Amino acid sequence: MGFLAVIDYDMGNLHSACKGLEKAGIQPKITDSPQDIAEAEAIVLPGVGSFDPAVQQLRSRGLEEPIKAAISAGKPFLGICLGLQILFEGSEEGKEPGLGIIKGKVRRFHSEPNLTIPHMGWNQLQLTQPNLSLWQGLIADPYVYFVHSYYVDPVESDVKAAVVTHGSQTVTAAIARDNLMAVQFHPEKSSDNGLQMLSNFAAMVKQKR
């Protein structure tokens, strides 16, 4: 029987992410082993913090190539918060190159009157890929929990799976392409809607068995 690897690179909100997965009926394995990532049947990449230290930590552990190989092999992959951002080519937050799996850049919210940065708290998704497996069973335009000052700006618009509006700015809140999915918000902090998403991801993993 395979296992789901939750990548530990000292930047993740590991325990709450794992708790959410356990509630969804799947037992994750926290690891920073390239071999574990190669052997895992699915991957979750959580993350909290800054862009440059995150990619530095991944590279220092030799995890960049195993992550890319797992995605190329078609394994279900879920990035969360910073785990979404580091999939891109770079960020206005730092100077390090990202993993470059998704074309585009991470950008900072533009200042405007009465706009709070970071974007923190509950906000409503607009699903742009409504038939995505990750969204199955959700109510229309679900509320989820955000904490971020930067957002992803993909080059290819069809990779966007959901957007969110903060102030006058509508930005990407989730991406999806084949087996690769990643979200800016925290499903593990998003009550029933987040638990439904994690349950959907767990179902995808079980279907691959």
Active site residue 39: no
Whether 81 is a known active-site residue: answer yes
Q: Is 188 a catalytic residue?
A: yes
Catalytic residue among 119, 148, 166, 188: 188
State the catalytic residue, choosing from 81, 119, 148, 166.
81
Return d(Cα 26, Cα 98) in angstroms, integer.
Answer: 29
- What string of H, E and C letters represents the secondary structure of the chain? CCCEEEECCCCCCHHHHHHHHHHCCCCEEEECCHHHHHHCCEEEECCCCCHHHHHHHHHHCCCHHHHHHHHHCCCCEEEECHHHHCCCCEECCCCCCCCCCCCEEEEECCCCCCCCCCEEEEEECEECCCCCHHHCCCCCCCEEEEEECEEEEECCHHHEEEEEEECCEEEEEEEEECCEEEECCCHHHCHHHHHHHHHHHHHHHHHHC
Residues with catalytic function: 81, 186, 188
